[in-house]
Amino acid sequence: MKSLHPTPLAPPDSPGVDRDWTVSDRWLSGLDQALRTVLGVHQSRRPNPAGSLAETVATPAERRHVVGLMRINHAGEVAAQALYAGQSLTAKEAATQTAMIEAAQEETDHLAWCSDRIDELGGRKSVLNPVWYAGSFAIGALAGLAGDKVSLGFVAETEKQVGQHLESHLRDLPHGDARTRAIIEQMRVDEARHGQSATNAGANELPPPIRALMKLTSKVMTRTAYWL
């Protein structure tokens, strides 16, 4: 895998990425990324999968429910950005840093698509997004410090659990909601690829207690983000 730039937190299209980055540069770039993610300053590089599909969510109850599901997904993508940022900052190998960067770029697409869908339905994002970001960044940084194989194992397990959540959302959508379904299905494909890439890169399987703790944390976040 070819490295896109020398620092794990620098956007690939940033000017001057060929220069040497100091620790301060990397942290400032990370702060910029955090602000953009939490404040909703993101733009997808790929077309929205919903495209020109017709809107079928009509009743207030359906709109509230779909907004709740997409608010969960948006909050999850905020957390994913933070995880990858923390992991890339503390990764030992350049290849691991690059893998985190490339995954984060696709997660930015997901952020934009979820945000668009919430806006279409007149909803709002989670008011706890700064909390999700801060907590996930800390977890990602600690995972990176534990070693690249552990960090990759964290990615693989995270993406596995995210895929399960997305599958449950697909089952829970109102019948005929093609716009939301198209977005979630593409997200599921991307997350599965991220998880498989981490496995192929040599991820260590996490011990059962860690996997259980991750599931518990995810459950708390999803249940909270549905309403807040």
pLDDT in tens, 92-144: 888 888 778 777 787 889 999 999 999 999 999 999 999 999 999 999 899 88
DSSP summary character for residue 3: -
pLDDT score for 35: 61
pLDDT score for 165: 94
Gap between the terminal Cα atoms of the chain: 39
pLDDT score for 100: 81
- CATH (residue range 57-227): 1.20.1260.10
Distance CA 121, CA 22 (A): 43
pLDDT score for 49: 97
DSSP code per residue over 42-93: ---SS--TTTTPPP---SHHHHHHHHHHHHHHHHHHHHHHHHHHHHHHH-SS
pLDDT score for 92: 83
Predicted model pTM? 0.84
Distance CA 215, CA 16 (A): 40
Profile the chain (228 residues) by mean pLDDT over runs of 10 residues: 34 42 58 66 86 95 97 94 86 82 83 95 95 91 91 92 95 96 96 91 91 92 95
- Total residue length of the chain: 228
Q: Say if residues 139 and 218 touch (Cβ distance below 8 Å).
A: no
